[in-house]
Amino acid sequence: MDPIRILIADDQPLVRDGLKATFEGVPEIVAVGEASDGAEAVRGVRAHLPDIVLMDINMPRMNGLDATRQICGDDLYRKTKVIILTMFDQDDYLFEALRIGASGFILKDTPTRRLIEAVKEVTSGEALLSPSVTRRLISEFSRRPVLAAGTAGALDGLTDRERDVFKLLVRGHTNEEMAAILTLRASTVKSHVQHLYQKLGVRDRVQIVIYAYENGLV
């Protein structure tokens, strides 16, 4: 199995060096590039096509949100996922980053082991959100006006089982929980989730939640 390729974007050299050192002893992960601002991050993604970008928000010239918008908005980089690195746990950053395509948030004071786990989780298609953040996300979108109903046809291409998984996924259930509810193997549920990503054109389960609420499907 090929190692997970990451690019580290942060304007502080000490932070970049610390993150690189964190992954040097992890054979499943390799740092293929670094950037000191958002523009460099975009160029780095173009050059290296990493699996994951660890993206700081507050950087000079181009900030992390603008860089994330460019990366996640370009189909050429569809396989590249962005994890936002921040010192802040603030809703305005959270919702904007997720809306434009980030796969999750992680605070800079996160323990090393958890950071390594986070990179692996996002690479496998999971979303990097705690249950409390997921509830805030769902609460936020449930308060917003939805588009006119007519977009429900977006689910016409799904099988009945994929629709079942879609409904449970939007409610925040894990693969294991969905497997128990639907009496399926966890591996089967994971396969259904991957099919949903492909059919709906989304990157991960957070994007499915946003897709569902913005299109009035729940």
Residues of the chain with CATH 1.10.10.10: 139-214
133-142: burial string, b at 16+ Cβ within 10 Å, e else? bbeebbebbe
CATH number belonging to the domain at 139-214, selected among 1.20.140.10, 1.10.8.60, 1.10.10.60, 1.10.10.10: 1.10.10.10
Residue with tokens 């000191």: 36
| CA dist., res. 85 & res. 56, Å (int) | 5
Rounded to 5 degrees, φ, ψ at 216 are 65, 35
Asked if residue 110 lies in contact with residue 118, where contact means CB atoms within 8 angstroms, the answer is yes
34 in Cβ contact with 63 (< 8 Å): no
Domain with CATH 3.40.50.2300 in the chain: 4-128
Q: Please report, for residues 4, 18, 26, the alpha-carbon distance to residue 120 in angstroms, rounded to integers and kept in the order given.
A: 8, 18, 11
Residues facing residue 82 across a β-bridge: 53
Q: What is the pLDDT of residue 148?
A: 46
Q: What pLDDT score was predicted for residue 145? A: 55
- Per residue in 102-141, pLDDT tens? 888 887 888 888 889 889 988 887 766 655 555 566 566 6
pLDDT-based confidence at residue 96 (cuts at 50, 70, 90): confident
Contact present, 44 and 9 (Cβ < 8 Å): yes
Per cent of the chain over pLDDT 90 is: 38
Question: What are 55's strand-pairing partners?
Answer: 9, 84
SS3 53: strand
Predicted local confidence at residue 104, as pLDDT: 81
pLDDT: is 104 or 13 the higher one? Answer: 13
Phi/psi for 104 (5° steps) reads 155, 180
Dihedral, CA atoms, 203, 158, 165, 187, nearest 10 degrees? -80
pLDDT band at 82 (very low <50, low <70, confident <90, very high): very high
pTM of structure: 0.73
Convert the pLDDT of each residue in 120-131 to its tens digit: 988 887 766 655
Q: What is the pLDDT of residues 57-75, one digit of tens each?
A: 889 989 999 999 999 988 8
- Pair 30, 6: CB distance under 8 Å: yes
- Given the structure tokens 């190692």, which residue do they identify? 3
State phi, psi for 7 to the nearest 5 degrees. -120, 135
Tokens at residue 28, please? 């499943």
Report the pLDDT value the prediction gives residue 95, as an integer from 0 to 100. 74
At residue 142, the pLDDT reads 57
With cut-offs at 50, 70 and 90, classify the pLDDT of residue 149. very low
pLDDT at residue 118, rounded to an integer: 87
* Contact present, 35 and 44 (Cβ < 8 Å): yes
Q: What is the gyration radius of the CA atoms in the chain, in angstroms?
A: 17
What confidence tier does 90 reach under pLDDT thresholds 50, 70, 90?
low
Among 20-34, 151-165, 179-193, the minimum mean pLDDT is found in 151-165
pLDDT tens digit string along 14-29? 999 999 999 988 999 9
58 versus 53: which is more confidently predicted?
53
Q: Which fold has domain 4-128?
A: Rossmann fold (3.40.50)
